[in-house]
Amino acid sequence: MATHAPITPTPSNRSAFPMRTSSLNPANPLTSSRSAASTILQSYTTPSGTAVGGASSGGLYLHHSEDPLIFEIGSRLLRAGFANEGIPRCELEWTKEVFWSREGCVWSTDGEGRGELWRGDLRSVEMGVVEDVVERGVRMAYNKYLLLDSKLKRVIVVIPACFPTTLLTSLAKSFFVHFQMPGIMLLESPIMSCIAAGTRSALVLDLGWEEAVINIVYELRVVGRGGARGRSRRGGRVLRGMWGEFLEAEVEKSGMKGKVGEREVEEVLSRVGWCRGFGEETVASGNDSTIDIPLSTTTPPTKLKLAFCRLSEPAEKTFFARTTAPSISPDYPDDDDFPIPQLVYEALEDSPIDVRAACMQRIIIVGGGSLVPGLKKRIVDEVRSLVETAGWEKGQRRDKKNHVPQAPASDLELLKIVETKPEFQLHSEDEGEMTEEENYEWHAPPGGLSPGVPGREKKPGIGGPKVKGLESLGAWVGASLVAGMKGRGNIEVEREKFLSTVAGGGSGFPFGF
């Protein structure tokens, strides 16, 4: 912290941010005495402790009038912008060559392994490179889009839930070492997606690049991840693979040869890819329009003429087919490769009944995969249909068995910033559960939005709630809203502390995060 002290801001800075120097003053007793990180640590180690002071009066983040910056870092994109704004100021794709190439080198364009910032298999990821690339991305965001002096801003980083600690350490190192931020606050993206949808509970399905992940958020906490089947590899990469195969087959059909480059595949799928609605015919009607797709990476460059309805095939295969792996019996499911609606259904089924009641009306689909037109609605419709046909038998049985008497909890405990484990929190309901559910029910007028028949959802044990989807503005916007209200996240990390822990070989983060 001492490093910030000797700076004398230039006149222009001073006029722009009059509060800054005083608010970041290391001598400020509030910030220095109450370290956020230690509060977190405390609350982790002593879940029933009395860390109220730290939580209620706040640490680093509550006493600055200035809006913090928000970075959302994914394996494909960096979003950056100011809190209290509706859209990020910039979105940068990690695939851009400028993040990877050597300065002043023409030949260092290798193209390999440049698809994403990290892969799911972290063994193949060099953490140092992640750190370096993040540094470049953040610097570009600062210098080109945010137009800010880096070190003087507080930063909120939105990360996926269940984020690998090694990656997190790399990201934080990049921020702390290269930009010398005083502290970072971390927010989990599923929760932020909920906030950006205006709900407190939801099933958040993130169709990411690497994988599709389900997070069940209940009362703004991630309470479950859909059990064993909460994730699937059916994400952006599989979609690109499907499109690649699809295009190549078409290229070959038209008598040409050649691979279609990955970038071009992405381009095509983002431009003309779509997804059929639930129950829509797979066979094209005869008068369907055709679409010309110019391809430049094939040799020679060519133009594909395709029926428009066929352009939904890859999405169909990626998200709804029984299996995404090449199989001789494609109609039989793989043991661990389920269609997305099935995953959602099972995640709901696995949840405690009140959580399920809340979440099934609030399915939020975010992530790059959700940009395929029609996909979100299709998934929601399919889940609804699954629920209508299958009901919740399994879940009910389990709930009765696992009835756990409720542990008394004090108010103090609830004021803490604790992310409790799902089991701890989700002990089951008393008999008033049904009325709770009614209370919580969707308040849109009956017969409203969904094409599903309203009369059919009467399943034994399930009262009113129907499966519905919600639109979310995305995790970044959620974080912007939270930051705008001076909200605090689960984890705040201070620079000095972090660096010293990392230097000592630790991750820099509280255990269990």
Partner 1 sequence: MAPFPTIHISCPCNDSISIAPSKSSASRKAPEHDDPEESDMTFDPGSARSNFSLFPLENLLYCEDCNQIRCPRCVHDEIVCYFCPNCLFEVPSSTVKTEGNRCTRNCFSCPICFASLSVTAADESSTSTSPYILLCPHCFWSSAEIGISFEKPTSITAQLAAKLKLPSLQPSSSSASSFSTPTESYFPASASSTTPTIASVETTLTPEEMYARLKTHYATQRAGSGTDEFGTSPGALSRLMGLYSSTLSGSKRTFGTSLGVGKQTAKQKPDWHEYEHVQPTHDESTLINKMRTVGFTGTTSSQQRIIQPHHPLFTSQLRPLAALLRTKRSKRCRACRHILVKPESKVTTTRFRIKLVAMNYIPALTISLLDPTSVSYHSLTPLNTHQFLLTVTNPLFDPINVTLATPQRTPGRFPTEVTILCPDFEVGANTDVWDEALASAGATSGAPTGVQGSQGKSRRTGKKTGNTGTVWDAGRNWTTVVIEIVPPLIPVEGGDSDAEGEKKITELDRIVQIPVCVRVEYETELEREDSLSALSGREQKEKREHTYWSVLGLGRIGKFGGVKSSEGSDTLGSMDSMPTRPMGRPSSYSVNKPSAGPGLGVDAFGASGMGAAAAVAAAVRGGRKA
- Comparing CB distances to partner 1, the nearer of 238 and 315 is 315
Q: Site for partner 1 (CB under 8 A): which residue of 110, 252, 334, 336?
A: 110
Cα–Cα distance for residue pair 512/504, rounded to 1 Å: 18
Q: Which stretch binds partner 1 (CB under 8 A): 33-41, 336-344, 388-396, 432-440?
A: 432-440
Q: Site for partner 1 (CB under 8 A): which residue of 1, 41, 85, 330?
A: 85
Q: Bridge partners of 90?
A: 80
Q: Which stretch binds partner 1 (CB under 8 A): 32-40, 329-337, 343-351, 411-419?
A: 411-419
Q: Site for partner 1 (CB under 8 A): which residue of 473, 475, 479, 491?
A: 473
* Gyration radius of the chain's alpha carbons: 25
- 116-135 binders of partner 1 (CB under 8 A): 126-129, 132-133, 135
C-alpha closest to that of 434 among 455, 395, 462: 462
**Helix intervals (H) in 281-339:** 313-315
**Helix intervals (H) in 256-339:** 262-272, 313-315
Q: Site for partner 1 (CB under 8 A): which residue of 72, 262, 266, 494?
A: 266
Q: Which residues contact 278 (CB under 8 A, 6 or more apart)?
A: 377, 378, 381, 382, 385
Q: Site for partner 1 (CB under 8 A): which residue of 429, 457, 492, 494?
A: 429
Sign for the CA dihedral angle at 363, 364, 367, 368 comes to positive
- 443-462 binders of partner 1 (CB under 8 A): 443-445, 448-450
- Comparing CB distances to partner 1, the nearer of 27 and 407 is 407
Sign for the CA dihedral angle at 98, 104, 109, 114 comes to negative
Q: Which own/partner pairs from 486-489 qualify as long-range (CB within 8 Å, at least 24 positions apart)?
A: 486/61, 486/62, 488/36, 488/58, 488/59, 488/61, 488/62, 488/185, 488/417, 489/156, 489/185, 489/186, 489/187, 489/188, 489/417
Q: Site for partner 1 (CB under 8 A): which residue of 36, 80, 83, 216?
A: 83
- 270-329 binders of partner 1 (CB under 8 A): 270-272, 274, 277, 289, 291-294, 308
- 211-250 binders of partner 1 (CB under 8 A): 219-221
Tokens of 39: 């509060």
Q: Site for partner 1 (CB under 8 A): which residue of 2, 27, 105, 328?
A: 105
- 49-78 binders of partner 1 (CB under 8 A): 55-58, 62-63, 65-67
- Other beta carbons within 10 angstroms of residue 189's beta carbon come to 29
Cα–Cα distance for residue pair 154/19, rounded to 1 Å: 13
Phi, psi angles (nearest 5°) of residue 155: -130, 135
3-state class of 470 per DSSP? strand
Q: Site for partner 1 (CB under 8 A): which residue of 120, 198, 391, 463?
A: 198
| Size of site (CB under 8 A) for partner 1 | 142
Give how far the C-alpha of residue 217 lies from the chain's centroid of Cα atoms, to the nearest Å. 12
* CB 512 to partner 1: min, Å: 16
* CB 511 to partner 1: min, Å: 17
Q: Which stretch binds partner 1 (CB under 8 A): 95-103, 238-246, 254-262, 316-324?
A: 95-103
Q: Which stretch binds partner 1 (CB under 8 A): 145-153, 207-215, 226-234, 250-258?
A: 145-153
- 335-364 binders of partner 1 (CB under 8 A): 354, 358, 362-363
Q: Which stretch binds partner 1 (CB under 8 A): 205-213, 242-250, 314-322, 495-503?
A: 495-503
Q: Site for partner 1 (CB under 8 A): which residue of 143, 254, 296, 402?
A: 143
